[in-house]
Amino acid sequence: MVLSCYDCNRAKSDLEFYDQDLHLHKIHPDEAEITEAFVRDDNYYIRISEEKNGDKTVKEFYEKVDLGNQLHRLDYLLLNMRGLCRKITDKHPAYGI
Q: Quick check: 59 and 51 in contact, CB under 8 A? A: no
Domains in the chain: boundaries: 6-68
pLDDT at residue 1 in the model: 47
**Tens digit of pLDDT at every position of the chain (97 positions):** 455 666 766 766 666 655 555 567 778 777 788 888 998 889 888 899 999 999 988 898 888 888 888 877 777 777 778 778 888 887 766 665 5
Enter the pTM of the model. Answer: 0.63
DSSP string over 29-62: TTSTTHHHHEEE-TTS-EEE-GGGTT-HHHHHHH
